Amino acid sequence: MKLLVTNDDGPFSPGLRILAEAAKSIGEVVIVVPETPKSATGLGLTLHKPVRVNKLTLEGEQLYLVSGTPSDVIYIAMNVVAGRPDMVLSGVNIGDNLSIQVMLTSGTLGAVLQAAIEGIPGIAFSAAVDEPSELEEPEYKQFVYNAVKAVLQAVVAHGFPEGVDVLNVNFPPVLTDQVVIAAPARNRFSPSVVKRKDPQGRPYYWLYGLPVEAEKGTDVHVVLEEGKIAITPITLSSLIEVRNHQVAKLVEEVAKRLSSPCGSARPRS
């Protein structure tokens, strides 16, 4: 099995080393990552400037560094570095990727979602820690390694779940052997914008978020309150709802207005 290992934290993340080492237990590993951290880049692609690729040998491991986003990595890896992988693995991210709000902006998820668009299954791994040093603490590092390896070996043994494009796996900040399927919360943070001024008196802004209370039964509650590993299956087709009755009535109303004399009138110049 050919495995593409990537992340959004760059080549020096301890989470990357944990994931790559665990992935070697199930297949051939190729590591292609953004050359610098690219958190919160989502599915963004670099279309306005060239993308460059460089090689780096780090602790005896060969890596390919891409001057773009995690989504860029997918296309560079497929078309330049190693060909089409059987599966894409992203992480282990420093910080959780819980809730729909966070998943849609996450670079870690962006890589596997971009791969899923190309029909390649993927798994994103994230740890609910604040600093790289926490992931390097020996006992916690071993816990994450064992858990990643368990997920990968289970997928090999049973096959990737049918009808699922991506698995989003989040590890709690505490050691555990409990793992559950968890639906994503809608929100993880309450967004805020702070206005400040630079030395010339010109305004600038910081965007940040304050955590919201976790709803029971959601991935946020499972990981941060219950201290369990959460696995959230993602299916791209579920993002689109074309059989909604209210949408059908809306489309009928639009069609009726377009077919009326007023609707067919030309716009004023």
Average the pLDDT over each of 128-137, 160-169, 207-216 and give the range with the smallest value.
207-216
Supply the pLDDT for residue 242. 81
CA angle 125, 63, 235 (to 5 degrees): 30
Residues 6+ apart with CB under 8 A from 3: 23, 26, 27, 28, 29, 30, 85, 86, 87, 88, 89
pLDDT greater than 80 at residue 163: yes
Confidence of residue 264 (pLDDT cuts 50, 70, 90): low
What is the spatial distance between Cα 227 and Cα 180, in angstroms, rounded to a whole number? 11
Averaged over 241-246, what is the pLDDT?
Answer: 86
CA torsion, points 248, 252, 253, 258, in degrees to nearest 10?
A: 140
**Residue 180 corresponds to which tokens in the numbers above?**
């559950």
Task: Determine which of 4-8, 33-37, 223-227, 245-249 has the lowest per-residue pLDDT on average.
Answer: 245-249
**Comparing 162-166, 170-174, 265-269, which segment has the lowest mean pLDDT?**
265-269
170 known member of a binding site: no
Which of 160, 195, 180, 164 is CA-nearest to residue 231? 180
The token duo for 158 is: 């049973």
d(CA 172, CA 15): 14
Which letter does DSSP use for residue 13 in this model? -
pLDDT score, position 243:
84
Which pLDDT does position 240 carry in this prediction?
82
- From the list 234, 231, 238, 2, the residue with the least C-alpha distance to 116 is 234
The pLDDT of residue 176: 98
Is 9 annotated to bind a ligand? Reply is yes
Signed CA dihedral, 86, 92, 93, 95: sign only: positive
Are the beta carbons of 132 and 16 closer than 8 angstroms?
A: no
Could you tell me the two tokens for 233?
């299956």
Check: CB of residue 98 under 8 Å from CB of residue 189. Answer: no
- Per-residue pLDDT for 73 more than 70? yes
Express as a percent the part of the chain with pLDDT over 90: 91
Q: Quick check: 262 pLDDT over 80? A: no
Q: What is the mean pLDDT of residues 55-83?
A: 96
Which tokens hold the place of 72? 């860029």
pTM of this structure: 0.93
Q: Is 96 annotated as a binding residue?
A: no
**Which pLDDT band holds residue 267 (cuts at 50, 70, 90)?**
low
Please report the domains of the chain, with CATH numbers, ordered by start residue: 2-184+215-240 (3.40.1210.10)
Percentage of the chain surpassing pLDDT 70? 97
- Stronger pLDDT, 266 or 179, i.e. the higher one: 179
Asked if 174 and 227 count as a contact pair (C-beta separation under 8 A), the reply is yes
Predicted confidence (pLDDT) per residue in 217-233, tens digit: 999 999 999 999 999 99
Side-chain-facing half-sphere of 121: CA atoms under 13 Å: 15
Contact criterion met (CB below 8 Å) for 2 and 33 = no
Q: Is 130 annotated as a binding residue?
A: no
Mean pLDDT of all residues in 249-266: 84
Q: Which two tokens stand for residue 40?
A: 């919160």
What confidence category does residue 68 fall into, taking pLDDT thresholds of 50, 70 and 90? Answer: very high
Alpha-carbon Rg for the chain, nearest whole angstrom, is 21
Per-residue model confidence as pLDDT tens digits over 94-123: 999 999 999 999 999 999 999 999 999 999
Whether the ω angle into residue 5 lies within 30 degrees of 0, i.e. cis, is: no
pLDDT at 269 over 70: no
